[in-house]
Amino acid sequence: MRRFLFTTLALLIVINFVGSSLFAQGGGAYGGGGGYSGSYNAGNSAGAQNLGKLLSQSSILDLRLQNKTALNAIMIEGTAEFRIQPEQLRVVLALTSEGDSAQACQEQINKQIAAIRKDWLALQIPEKDIVEDFISVLPRYEWTTDKWEEENIRVQKHNGYRMQSNLHVAVNNETEAMAAIDKAFQHGVAEVVTFDYWSSKLDEEKQKAMTAAVEAARKKSKTLLAVFSEPPQVINVQEKTTVIFPTSLYTTYQNVLEEDYLGRYWQERARIKAYRPKMTFYRGLDSNADIKPKELPMRPEIAVVSTVRIYYQSPAERDGDE
């Protein structure tokens, strides 16, 4: 009878924590998918989908434990989420040109880069933080009308080249980034390829998050394992720390209000819908961490999430060995 009670209690503890685990399958405790209502279309939430993939790949192990494993160990986990203010912001701009020859394309881009570089240096951006990245040069074609056996045909012919180079610039904050972008706009550059953030304190913050996760797991253990007359012995520990950059924490959706009725007149003609831009906003990380920031995610920040699992020997297993 005593062994049956120990076995049942151990199973209940394991099942409870498996169900609430950060890495449990089907949705994820981080809320990567996001549930929007009304005009929000969660299916178009590219940022949330990317975040869901990122977090689903960070699991430590499959939590569908076999009965034997459940009886052998009790798993308790703690999770801590820290936010880091970025120290640097990188902006990548695309410079494109078209010409009769590759050399003509290169000369045009070189003039743009020289003018932009001069303005950026005037903004006190260090030379080492400006990097040119050649991407591609591709042939350009156009359709022409020709004759083939007395029949009019359309033929594609080579009509020059198209070249792309990217220009990377690293700045300290978003104000400096917008100033650099504005200078580039003045020289005909209007394509921002991407942006990302960085901090030199990542290693330090990862260590802090891991330490906090250990303390969270220990605090849970002290409360939950108090049901036993003797504390179970620690037999193993696992840790997973993930750094999530702001570019993964943006959400995109389409806010659309369609007409309810168009009438027969419109059904007889071709219809072209008005352009409906997609909305993008910084959502931030929504985690169920035991320790997490209390402030709203109002600005892009680097998130560090650490989960620590402590495994204890099940009293049911120990009782079975007696």
- DSSP letters for 179-247: HHHHHHHTTT---EEEEEEE-TTHHHHHHHHHHHHHHHHHHHHHHHGGGSSSPPPEEEEEEEEEEE-GG
Single-letter residue type at 184: A
**319 SS3 class:** helix
Reduced to 3 states (helix: H, G, I; strand: E, B; else coil), residue 161 is strand
Beta bridge mates, 198: 88
**CB–CB of 298/227 below 8 Å?**
no
The torsion angles phi and psi of 234, rounded to 5 degrees, stand at -70, 130
List the chain pLDDT tens, one digit each, 322 residues: 434 333 333 333 333 433 333 333 333 333 333 322 223 333 334 444 554 454 444 444 444 556 666 667 899 999 999 999 999 999 999 999 999 999 999 999 999 999 999 999 999 999 999 999 999 999 999 998 888 888 888 999 999 999 999 999 999 999 999 999 999 999 999 899 999 999 999 999 999 999 999 999 999 999 999 998 888 999 999 999 999 999 999 999 888 777 666 666 656 677 777 888 889 999 999 889 999 999 999 999 999 999 999 999 988 765 545 4
Beta bridge partners of 133: 166
| Cβ burial, residue 43 (10 Å; 0-12/13-18/19+) | exposed
Residue with tokens 């650490």: 306
| Class of 88-198 in CATH | alpha beta
Write out pLDDT tens, residues 59-112: 444 445 566 666 678 999 999 999 999 999 999 999 999 999 999 999 999 999
Return the domain boundaries, the chain. 17-86+200-257+270-321, 88-198
| pTM exceeds 0.85, yes or no | no
Taking the C-alpha atoms of residue 175 and residue 125, their distance in angstroms, rounded to an integer, is 13
- How far is it, in rounded angstroms, from Cα 317 to Cα 298? 49
